[in-house]
């Protein structure tokens, strides 16, 4: 089953890639490796602000991570034209905007991790590092970057 079949099954429509309003680009390719910029959580097209353990619950954070994963897949598509050209999702870094006592960053991160496996199958199985940050651009509740490998 192709990545596009799985996306259809999951009823996911990929967004077009967002061009950063800043002096950087959404991704850089080096050899077979794609380095993708940090993507912040959005809801209804705007930054989804808030801290986990304060305004937002773990379930909110997991949904935010899932939303970001969809945006990241949109960027991967722009980077490699056809998602079936992705041989592996290599590494995710998941930053969770955390109140000082919130320790469920790994559960928040699963919102993204699970989608990558649902969409890419074995090729979606990745290494990752999840942790709590003091803040993020626009106060977004979650921010994720990744490294992927192309065929």
Among 41, 119, 128, 141, binds a copy of itself (CB under 8 A): 128
Query: Are 68 and 39 a contacting pair, CB within 8 Å?
Result: yes
30 to 69: interface string for a copy of itself, x by CB under 8 A: xxxx-xxxx----------x--------------------
Q: How far apart, in whole angstroms, are the C-alpha atoms of residue 69 and residue 111?
A: 8
Longest CA–CA separation in the chain, Å:
43
1 binds a copy of itself (CB under 8 A): no
145 binds a copy of itself (CB under 8 A): yes
Number of residues that bind a copy of itself (CB under 8 A): 56
Return the closest-CA partner of residue 69 out of 22, 151, 23, 6: 6
> Least distance to a copy of itself from the beta carbon of 79, Å?
10
151 binds a copy of itself (CB under 8 A): no
Return the closest-CA partner of residue 139 out of 57, 60, 70, 41: 41
> Least distance to a copy of itself from the beta carbon of 150, Å?
10
């Amino acid at each position: 089953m192709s990545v596009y079949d799985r996306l259809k099954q999951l009823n996911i429509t990929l967004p077009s890639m967002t061009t950063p309003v800043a002096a950087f680009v959404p991704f850089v390719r080096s050899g077979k490796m794609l380095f993708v910029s940090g993507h912040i959580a959005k809801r209804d097209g705007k930054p989804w602000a808030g801290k986990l353990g304060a305004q937002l619950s773990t379930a909110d954070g997991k949904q935010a991570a899932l939303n970001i994963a969809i945006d990241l897949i949109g960027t991967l598509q722009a980077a490699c034209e056809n998602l079936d050209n992705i041989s592996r999702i290599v590494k995710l870094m998941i930053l969770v905007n955390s109140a000082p006592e919130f320790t469920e960053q790994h559960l928040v991160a699963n919102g993204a991790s699970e989608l990558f496996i649902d969409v890419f199958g074995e090729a979606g199985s990745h290494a990752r590092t999840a942790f709590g940050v003091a803040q993020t651009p626009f106060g977004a509740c979650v921010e994720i970057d990744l490294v992927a490998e192309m065929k």
